[in-house]
């Protein structure tokens, strides 16, 4: 809990007001409230004999234009566009209505190890970019990581060779050109 609170504080999370299209979103959006996960138990495999376990209190799926992912998450976001910029990022649990979807899992890898896999689908007509930071078992620090841009209408697969407690995606933006 402390590590995730540190990440939320580091990123400056506070309740935000979201503007989205009525009828496309859960009731919480219409009331301008972030949607929180229920308290949950996270279990990550370090190897075939060791685990990392942590209990979490309610944490938002999306807050202050930052997406928070934990192993097992599968949800989307809608973006609000003003001019040529993404101005707001809003949680969208219905994958078929989302502009961008995420699936974050822990998968078996070689030699009795495990990797983290992020699958991102961009249904927008422009390439998107975003920044990522993470927390990992055994470290109180927040670690920056690189992620690839996601081409318009395509899917990217990002993997890490170690467990990730929480992955936060922020600074969603359109690429300056389609080839960045």
pLDDT in tens, 101-147: 999 999 998 888 899 999 999 999 999 999 999 999 989 899 999 99
Other beta carbons less than 10 A from residue 164's beta carbon: 22
Which of 81, 125, 126, 119 minimizes the C-alpha distance to 101?
Answer: 119
In this predicted model, what pLDDT tens digit does every residue of 87-96 receive, in sequence order?
A: 999 999 999 9
pTM for the complete prediction? 0.81
Q: How far apart are CA 92 and CA 29, in angstroms?
A: 9
Q: Mean pLDDT in the chain?
A: 84
In this prediction, residue 20 has a pLDDT band, given cuts at 50, 70 and 90, of very low
CA–chain centroid gap for 104, Å, is 8
Residue, of 11 and 98, whose pLDDT is higher = 98
- Whether 30 has a pLDDT exceeding 50, the answer reads no
20-34, 60-74, 145-159: range with lowest mean pLDDT: 20-34
pLDDT in the model for residue 32: 54
Note whether 24 and 30 are within 8 A (CB).
no
Q: Which two tokens stand for residue 117?
A: 């896999």
Over pLDDT 70: what percentage of the chain? 80
In this predicted model, what pLDDT tens digit does every residue of 158-175 receive, in sequence order?
A: 999 999 999 999 999 998
In this prediction, residue 3 has a pLDDT band, given cuts at 50, 70 and 90, of very low
- Whether 4 has a pLDDT exceeding 80, the answer reads no
pLDDT in the model for residue 2: 42
Which of 80, 68, 76 minimizes the C-alpha distance to 19?
Answer: 80
- Residues in CB range of 150: below 8 A, 6 or more apart: 100, 120, 121, 122, 127, 128, 129, 156
């Amino acid at each position: 809990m402390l590590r995730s609170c540190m990440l939320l504080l580091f990123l400056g999370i506070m309740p935000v007001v979201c503007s989205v299209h009525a009828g496309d979103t859960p009731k919480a959006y219409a009331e301008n409230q972030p949607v929180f996960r229920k308290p949950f138990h996270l279990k990550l495999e370090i190897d075939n004999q060791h685990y990392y376990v942590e209990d979490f209190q309610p944490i938002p799926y999306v807050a202050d234009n930052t997406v928070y992912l934990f192993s097992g998450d599968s949800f989307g976001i809608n973006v609000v566009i003003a001019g040529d910029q993404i101005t707001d990022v809003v949680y969208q649990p219905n994958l078929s209505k989302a502009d961008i979807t995420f699936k974050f899992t822990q998968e078996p890898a070689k030699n009795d190890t495990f990797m983290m896999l992020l699958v991102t689908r961009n249904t927008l007509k422009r390439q998107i970019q975003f920044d990522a930071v993470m927390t990992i078992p055994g470290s109180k620090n927040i670690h920056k990581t690189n992620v690839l841009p996601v081409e318009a209408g395509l899917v990217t697969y990002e993997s890490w060779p170690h467990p990730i407690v929480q992955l936060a995606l922020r600074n969603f933006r359109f690429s300056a050109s389609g080839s960045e």
